[in-house]
């Protein structure tokens, strides 16, 4: 991999995971929230794992699908950070399991990319799309997990019949990424 590609990949991933800055307007059919609004408080509480605050905010506003300027939802933040109890509570409150951010990432993909296999399982059991491809690199949850070397998430995805033959925008499969990363145990699972 050349240095320019590696730098581009790091910048892309950091922008997706760190946030993409304030938005000037709401987008489409979802609820964009001002940085100090109750929706932002719900997103931040979900991100930090504060179940008590999530409960209070849901009781007051009953809007589990609020969005930040990057189109992240509380469910995405909770899944990314491994907060299983909050994921469950948001799902109970009606959170959209397959909501996508501005890059096409879903909560399940974010959980898989961080090896939160139990959350991946919960989201798949609630109907999450197992083979969804995000729009920046064409990665699936399986590609993400294989690339990162996350054995538990790979096993969970394969148990839910993730398509191991799907290719990203570079034409690489999950096995190609596992091989490139030296993740032999994952490579064996993908055969």
Instruction: Check which CATH number belongs to the domain holding 43 and give it.
Output: 1.25.40.20
Longest Cα pair distance anywhere in the chain, in angstroms? 50
Residue 60 lies in a domain: yes
Do 114 and 46 lie in one domain? The reply is no
Residue 113's pLDDT is what? 95
8 Å CB contact between 86 and 116: no
Residue 62's pLDDT is what? 82
Domains contained in the chain, number: 2
Give, in degrees to the nearest 5, the angle at Cα 3 between 187 and 185.
10
Which whole number is the average pLDDT over 68-81?
95
**Tokens representing 33?**
């929230």
Q: How far apart are CA 87 and CA 91, in angstroms?
A: 6
Where is average pLDDT lowest: 38-52, 71-85, 87-101?
38-52
Is the pLDDT at 36 greater than 60? The verdict is no
Do 40 and 89 lie in one domain? The reply is yes
119: domain range? 97-191
Averaged confidence pLDDT in the chain: 86
Q: Coil, helix or strand for 124?
A: helix
Where is average pLDDT lowest: 5-19, 27-41, 152-166?
5-19
Residue 181 lies in a domain: yes
Residue 86's pLDDT is what? 98
Q: What are the tens digits of pLDDT across the range 138-148?
A: 999 999 999 99
Identify which of 118, 111, 43 has the alpha carbon closest to the alpha carbon of residue 74.
43
**Tokens representing 93?**
């409150």
pTM: 0.82
Residue 20's pLDDT is what? 54
Q: Does an H or E element contain 162, and which?
A: none
């Amino acid at each position: 991999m050349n240095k320019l590609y590696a730098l581009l990949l790091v910048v892309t991933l950091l922008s997706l995971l760190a946030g993409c800055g304030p938005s000037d307007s709401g987008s489409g059919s979802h609820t964009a929230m001002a940085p100090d609004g109750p929706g932002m408080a719900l997103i931040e509480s979900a991100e930090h794992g504060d179940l008590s605050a999530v409960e209070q905010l849901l009781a007051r506003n009953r809007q589990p699908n609020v969005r930040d300027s990057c189109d992240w939802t509380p469910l995405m933040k909770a899944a990314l950070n491994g907060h299983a109890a909050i994921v469950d509570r948001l799902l109970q409150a009606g959170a959209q399991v397959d909501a996508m951010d501005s890059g096409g990432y879903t909560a399940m993909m974010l959980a898989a990319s961080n090896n939160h296999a139990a959350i991946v399982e919960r989201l798949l059991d609630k109907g999450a799309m197992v083979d969804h491809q995000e729009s920046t690199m064409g990665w699936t949850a399986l590609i993400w997990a294989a690339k990162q070397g996350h054995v538990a998430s790979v096993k969970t995805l394969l148990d839910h019949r993730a398509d191991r033959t799907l290719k990203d925008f570079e034409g690489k499969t999950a096995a190609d990424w596992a091989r490139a990363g030296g993740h032999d145990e994952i490579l064996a699972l993908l055969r």
